[in-house]
Amino acid sequence: MKLVRHGPRGRERPGILDRSGRVRDLSAHVDDIAGAVLTPEGLKNLAALDPQSLPLIDGRPQQDLRLGACVGRVGKFLGIGLNYADHAAEAGMDVPAEPIIFTKWTSSIAGPDDDLQLPPGSTATDWEVELGIVIGAGGRDIPEDRALDHIAGYCVINDISERDWQIRRGGTWDKGKGYDGFGPVGPWLVTPDEIADPAGLHLWLEVDGHRHQDGTTATMVFGPAQLVAYCSRFATLEPGDLITTGTPPGVGMGQKPPVYLQPGQVMRLGIDGLGVQTQRIQG
C-alpha cells in the first residue's frame, strides 16, 4: 500500500493510492494516517479495503493536489548521523562504532513539495536525501531479529540542515536540524510488502537539475533493523514515530568549496519505489 495525507496544510485527510496513481479518500474508515492506524492490525484493516471502491479525490497528487507529510501526529522524529561510510569519509569523520542519534523537532515536518523558507541570516542550509522509517508496532528494547516487524513503512525524508548552527555554534546538532520546514516527509508511506530490500534502494538529490547525491542504501553502516532496535534502547518507540536513517555523499558541506542553498533554487530528490519530492527555496 501507498498511504498519503492530502489537502491544505493543517487540514490533511487520509488517503491511499489506487492502481492508477490517483488518491482515494480514507476518511470514512480512519481519521488520519497516524497512531493505531499504523499498527499491524490497523494496516491489516486498510489492506482489506478495495481502493477502487473508495471516493476518488479530484486532482493528481503532486500536480494539482497537495500532499502533506505522509504520517500525522508524529511523537518523535529521530535522526541518525554519519550512517553512510562514504558520507563519513567526505565529512572527514570516522565511521561511528554505534549509531549517532539526534532529534528533529516535529514542528520541522512539512509536505514533500512545500516551499522551504531559509532561516533568517542562514548562509549554510544544506540538503540530505534519506530513507525514512515509520514505526508501526511500538516497543522498548526491541530485539534486532524482530525489529522489522515494528516497521509500518518507509518514505523519503529530506533532512535539511543549517550547518553553522549544527556544527559551529556550540551545543548539539539539534539546533541546525529543527527549523520549521526542515523535515519534508513523503510523498507516501509505502508498506514493507512493497519494498523487497530496504538496504538496496537507489536514492538521489538534485539542485537546479544538477545531481549532487546519487547513492544506495546498501552503503548504510547500520540497517533498518539495527536502527529500530538501537533507538528503542533509549526511548519507547510508538506508532507514527519517524527515524531518518542518514544520507549518502554529495551534501553541500562536502563540496569543494562548500555549496549551500540559495533563494530561487529548486531541490528534487527521490528513492526508488518511495516517490519524489520537490522544494522551492524562498529567501
Cβ-based neighbour number of residue 148 at 10 Å = 16
Per domain, the residue ranges of the chain are 71-282
Query: In the chain, what is the straight-line distance between the N-terminal and C-terminal CA atoms, in Å?
Result: 37
Q: How many CA atoms does the CB half-sphere of 106 hold within 13 Å?
A: 9
Strand segments, DSSP code E, in 67-115 are 77-81, 100-103, 109-110
Instruction: Select the CATH number that applies to the domain covering 71-282 from these four: 3.30.360.10, 1.10.3720.10, 3.90.850.10, 2.40.50.140.
Output: 3.90.850.10
CB 56 within 8 A of CB 26: no
Q: What is the pLDDT tens value at each position of the chain, 283 positions in all?
A: 999 999 999 999 999 999 999 999 999 999 999 999 999 999 999 999 999 999 999 999 999 999 999 999 999 999 999 999 877 777 777 889 999 999 999 999 999 999 999 999 999 999 999 999 999 999 999 999 999 999 999 999 999 999 999 888 877 888 999 999 999 999 999 999 999 899 999 999 999 999 999 999 999 999 999 999 999 999 999 999 999 999 999 999 999 999 999 999 999 999 999 999 999 999 9
User: Cα(75)–Cα(241) distance, rounded to whole angstroms?
Assistant: 6
Vertex 215: Cα angle to 212 and 220 (nearest 5): 130
